[in-house]
A and B are shown apart, each in its own frame.
Chain A
């Protein structure tokens, strides 16, 4: 018997129904989890391809942005210290929004403009156009970066969740279900064995009864044969006769 991989319960019919319902539950759970895992994996793959193309885009935008910075420095001189000193708070921030995908909370980042950019008139007397161009290029690069950040956090979260879900799927498929199935088989086999024993007992009892009857018949047949051989008038058997008096004990008044 596969005593190692089954639950130890007392094999009754009640236990059998309980185990069967548990098995049904496990099967439904398994298919649901598998569907969840498949949905998540599909999303995972699409995010992966988006990340690849986004990374390349980010590479080119950052390169263009740093080149436009070089052009701005060429035209307007070193604007860095003035711009840096003029900054008070960040004017571009990110907001995080959580999105529910197949039960997983994925964060997405969006850009939000808060406050005004202070140094709008930088390069008023020279290099203004290059500086504006540089500012726009860097804003584009920033947008690409924010999107990449959303994609990457989603990627990492999904990875974790898919791992956990797959572990559960595999656990149900390779541990829980076989165990339940083995238990059910065991219980069924125990019950069958009991039935067989019962049946066997019945048969044996029947057989014994038959033997008894057969012996009785054989006895009677032998007696009859003896009677026929000694064919003398025989004293008829004394048969009980109500009309004759007999010494009987008084039923009512016992002596």
Chain B
């Protein structure tokens, strides 16, 4: 089980924070200043091909990350190398962290771990070679028992030998049995696990208290609400029943419990809009989407997420900035890949759909 070192809000956190975590916070703030700025993005969108982009990126914090790539560069290469840089920085911080920061950083990786595990379960269900799947897993979500994957050839082996050893074991045991892995739709499994993870993370941040609680709980609440809204909207027209849908909503966020109950009964997008617009924070998002045809709901959500994550840096003596940094870097990688795709596919009119971070 995950160990909670602090059972209550810690008094005197302001005094002890810097000795344990000050160095790492400083490093992260240094990384934060290396995040691409508006002028960098301006340069990037004016490139005509990927070679130009490589040139411009080499003048930013990314440096020569593409220097060793042979031949013409492809957008997937850019994505892989950018993600590698993020993973390196994260692991750097993770390896130097002590409790409770190390647990906090572990929590951040659990999200990726869930994706990896889903991939492995799917592959095992269809009897693919699991060792090949290891290469497709997200590097931030690796766990120790991945090496023993080649042993598991069917789902029951996977469940009993591999999954039990991962840090996600409590979520899996709490929500799923072995038969469920076989029968349930894989996306439902994914969302069930993610719900358990979010709730656990939220409890941990509340237990940490202080600045961490203030900012992280806000960010996690938005994540939960966003997932609830997305699940609702995307389940229209599929055979996901309303009860199943309600089981996937995380038990936290502004929409919980009254809004979630109403969302579970909604039948179309207009109803959802009406329900959610009653909550002040989200009214602005839906209005924006209604006003602007080019912007989708996902884009608006990403923007809101970036805004919340930016606030994570506005405070000290809290762990929120580690989480924010990871998420903002991810968004930056998404932006760079989007610009690269637009340039390489010749759709420069859509190139400005990235979300500027700072």
Contact = CB atoms under 8 A, between A and B. Distances in A.
A127 interface: yes
A66 B74 CA distance: 14
Contact of A121 (B119, B133, B185, B297): B185
Size range of the chain A interface in the assembly: 20 to 34
Contacts of A129: 233-234, 296-298
Interface in A117-154: 119-130
18 contacts: A70-B338, A75-B298, A81-B133, A81-B136, A85-B128, A87-B126, A121-B186, A121-B187, A121-B188, A121-B235, A121-B240, A124-B188, A125-B191, A125-B234, A128-B233, A128-B234, A129-B233, A129-B298
A84 B27 CA distance: 39
Contact of B230 (A67, A120, A122, A126): A126
Interface string A29-42: 00000000000000
With most chain A CB atoms within 10 A of its CB, the pick from B187, B188, B341, B345 is B187
Interface residues of B, number: 43
Given A70-B345, A126-B301, A128-B234, 18 more contacts: A63-B346, A67-B347, A70-B338, A75-B296, A75-B298, A75-B299, A81-B133, A82-B186, A85-B128, A87-B126, A120-B238, A124-B231, A124-B234, A124-B235, A125-B194, A125-B227, A125-B231, A126-B230
B309 to A, nearest CB: 16
The 10 closest A-B pairs by CB, nearest first: A128-B234, A121-B187, A70-B341, A81-B136, A85-B122, A75-B298, A124-B187, A125-B227, A85-B123, A74-B338
B234 A82 contact: no
Contacts of A127: 298
Contacts of B94: none
Interface in B329-352: 334, 337-338, 341-342, 345-347, 350
A2 interface: no
Nearest to B116: A81
Interface of B: 75, 115, 118-119, 122-123, 126, 128, 133, 136, 185-188, 190-191, 194, 226-227, 230-231, 233-235, 238-240, 248, 296-299, 301-302, 334, 337-338, 341-342, 345-347, 350
Given A75-B298, A122-B187, A128 B345 contact: no
A88 B298 contact: no
A49 interface: no
A73 interface: yes
